[in-house]
Amino acid sequence: MLNVRHITKTFLKGTPNEHTALRDFSLHLVPGEFVTVIGSNGAGKSTLFNAIAGSFLCDGGEILLDGTDITYQKEHLRARQIGRIFQDPMKGTAPDLTVEENLALAYSKATRRILAPAHRKKDTAFFRKQLERLHMGLEERMRTKVGQLSGGQRQAVTLLMSTMVTPKLLLLDEHTAALDPVTAQKVMDITKEIVSKNHITTMMITHNIEQALHTGTRTIMLAGGRIVLDLQGEAREKMTLPALMDLYREKAGKVLDNDRMLLSEPTGESTEN
């Protein structure tokens, strides 16, 4: 499904601030796999997502999605096949447009030609049905501007916009981090339900180690722009926080120093997708 092969990315090359964010990085995902991504600040997590999404071109290597080489494909073309949700609930939506208008724009981009009408009346019933799945009452607020919704509601709408037409790959960039714990859990539950039902290949960045080990099917840990730990199956199921810290120190050669990550509280989430 996703093949990232030996990609490298260096910023500010040739200057005193030169920084290599990804180093000969390779990763393979099979269809339907749900991978959580953890690591200290500066480990390369967001850079990896930006590389896959096409926010910039890598210095070397290649990226294949479902057998198609997208290494040099422009970001807006990749967006037709890759859904992405950011930490900021306002990213990915137009706050001055209604819920229905935002859904219509996303649906139009994924299903019709660019010059086709963005919204057709027969789509309204479809959007309403999709909103009902969120169990947030948003089907009764389709004419409300997205900017007037709560953070959790906006993030749920963004999630729906990214998955109404099933993407080949879904990138979740700390998409619950800006929400309060109760709302974050609800959005996470909705995420897992949508991903599981539609069998979407997914990658999720999180600073919550407990969440990383109990969500999806696989966990990778980055340090210095490379994968230092790749956990799945029984090894992942039995992994404890202290054991993970020890493994990280052994593989990365340093202690995990991200306080935000270390202070993350257990979520009590199910191991189901």
Alpha-carbon distance of 165 to 160, in angstroms, equals: 9
- Helices and strands counted in the chain (H then E): 10, 10
User: With 80 as the cut, is the pLDDT of residue 85 above it?
Assistant: yes
* pLDDT value, residue 265: 45
pLDDT at 41: 87
Which pLDDT belongs to residue 252? 81
Please spell the DSSP secondary structure of 133-187, one letter per residue: TTTSSGGG-TTSBGGGS-HHHHHHHHHHHHHSS--SEEEEESTTTTS-HHHHHHH
Side-chain-side CA neighbours of 65 within 13 Å: the count stands at 21
Confidence band of 92 (pLDDT split at 50, 70, 90) = confident
What is the pLDDT averaged over residues 251-263? 65
Q: How does the average pLDDT of the chain come out, rounded? A: 89
| CA distance readout (Å), 44 to 36, 71, 165, 213 | 14, 18, 29, 19
* pLDDT tens-place string over residues 159-204: 999 999 999 999 999 999 999 999 999 999 999 999 999 999 999 9
Residues 97-109 pLDDT 10s: 999 999 998 888 7
What confidence tens digit (pLDDT) does each residue in 102-143 have?
999 888 877 654 444 555 677 899 999 999 989 999 999 999
β-strand 82-85 against 226-232: which pairing, if any?
A: unpaired
Closest residue by Cα to residue 25 from 9, 39, 2:
9
CA-wise closest residue to 82 among 122, 58, 62, 54: 54
Report the predicted TM-score, pTM, of the whole model to 2 decimal places. Answer: 0.90
| 109 or 81, higher pLDDT | 81
In the chain, the domains with their CATH numbers are 1-81+169-264 (3.40.50.300), 90-166 (no CATH)
In this prediction, residues 1-6 reach a mean pLDDT of: 97
Q: What is the mean pLDDT of residues 54-69?
A: 97
Answer whether 43's CB lies under 8 Å from 19's CB: no
- How confident is the model at residue 269, as a pLDDT? 40
What tens digit of pLDDT does each residue of 26-35 get? 999 999 999 9
Average pLDDT over residues 231-252: 90
Q: Which two tokens stand for residue 221?
A: 């840990």
Task: Read off the pLDDT of residues 40-51 as tens digits, 9 standing for 90 and up.
Answer: 888 999 999 999
Q: In whole angstroms, what separates CA 59 from the centre of its chain?
A: 23
pLDDT of residue 272 exceeding 80? no
Average pLDDT over residues 246-258: 79
Q: Which residues contact 19 (CB under 8 A, 6 or more apart)?
A: 10, 11, 12
213-247 burial by CB neighbour count: b if 16+ within 10 A, else e?
Answer: bbbbbbbbbbbbbbbbbebeeeebeebeeeebeeb
- Residue 255 — very low, low, confident or very high, per pLDDT cuts 50/70/90? confident
Report CA 79 to chain centroid distance, whole Å: 13
Q: Are 217 and 232 in contact (CB under 8 A)?
A: yes
Read off the pLDDT band of 260 (50, 70, 90): low
